[in-house]
Amino acid sequence: MSAPLNSAVDRFLGYLRVERRYSPSTLANYARALRRLSAHAERLGLQRWSDLRSAQLQTLLAELHRGGLAPASLGLFLSSCRSFFRYLARDGEVKVNPAVGVRSPKILRKLPKVLDADEMGALLEFPTDDAEAVHDRAMLELLYSSGLRVAEIVSLCWRDLDTAEGMLRVTGKGSKTRIVPVGRQAMQALEALRTQEGGGDDDHILRGRNGRPLSTNGVRTRLKRRARDQGVWKRVYPHLLRHSCASHLLESSGDLRAVQELLGHADIGTTQIYTHLDFQHLARVYDSAHPRAKRRKD
């Protein structure tokens, strides 16, 4: 590849890593897309990115489609290209974004799978008669209560939890911070965990047996084992609890904007996938909407 092409890609990835603070997995997706784009530019004999035309990019997209790349992956590839050329246009290296106007195959959006309230109860209601059960109960309750991504929950420290207000500060995609509520039962499970394990404000909430922060794979493994032990035979994974939280809240409240804010979606169109469910009734506050956050009557 020519030096100018390679240099531009490296600078863009550095910009995403340092200035935008993208996660390693997101950076890997961008790098993979730009490797494909760069290989295509090299085959065409291009020396500068400003020489790439929309028709040439459309040809590459067609080749990837014929090669079996799924529509969703093609959409991500094209989105990466658009972002890359916007960056180059900002720096004056290209005048026209060749990815604008290029169309990828339509993505058939699947409805999210969820656990119903009874299945969630079966998953979460296990005895906390040993240290591991106390830990896992807090982990599962918090995933479901606040609709967290697995990468978000493993990064949480005790300083992020406001026990007085029942609120949690979460750092999500792109290092964006949001404040989310924590339900009553999740708060109780977290209090039991801290009583058991201690830990200062700077310590991670979820830790493994070695005392180190629990990994995302550790969360998945523990959740899968708990589901099996509780007789929940669906495929259970962290994002399923996030989907279930969103769907149950939307069923109860009908407040799409509130669910968008809870989940940290930048685009409300992402949240609208949950609107396939019938709304049961309207509710104005989190405690009256979330199945495991409702206050007990005195």
Q: Sign of torsion, CA 243 245 251 255?
A: negative
Q: What angle (nearest 5°) sits at the alpha carbon of residue 58, between those of residues 54 and 64?
A: 145
Domain range 117-289, its CATH number among 1.10.443.10, 3.30.160.40, 2.60.120.460, 3.30.2350.10: 1.10.443.10
pLDDT greater than 90 at residue 249: no
32 is catalytic: no
Distance CA 82, CA 80 (A): 5
pLDDT greater than 70 at residue 186: yes
Look up the pTM and report it: 0.62
> Mean pLDDT, the chain, as a whole number?
86
40 is catalytic: no
CATH code for the structural domain at 3-90? 1.10.150.130
Query: pLDDT tens-digit profile of 46-56?
Result: 999 999 999 99
Comparing 277 with 16, the larger pLDDT belongs to 16
Element (H, E) at 177: strand 177-181
Among residues 135, 222, 226, 242, which one is catalytic?
A: 242
Instruction: Break the chain into its structural domains and give their ranges.
Output: 3-90, 117-289
Q: Above pLDDT 70, what percent of the chain?
A: 88
265 is catalytic: yes
276 is catalytic: no
173 is catalytic: yes
Distance CA 285, CA 11 (A): 45
149 is catalytic: yes
Query: pLDDT tens-digit profile of 147-156?
Result: 899 999 999 9
Among residues 32, 36, 113, 265, which one is catalytic?
A: 265
Among residues 11, 173, 178, 294, which one is catalytic?
A: 173
Among residues 22, 30, 144, 274, which one is catalytic?
A: 274
Query: pLDDT tens-digit profile of 9-28?
Result: 999 999 999 988 888 888 99
User: What pLDDT was estimated at residue 283?
Assistant: 37
Among residues 135, 149, 222, 226, which one is catalytic?
A: 149
End-to-end CA distance of the chain: 71
- What is the pLDDT averaged over residues 278-284? 38
Distance CA 216, CA 208 (A): 11
Q: Are 112 and 243 in contact (CB under 8 A)?
A: yes
pLDDT greater than 70 at residue 298: no
Q: Are 268 and 257 in contact (CB under 8 A)?
A: yes
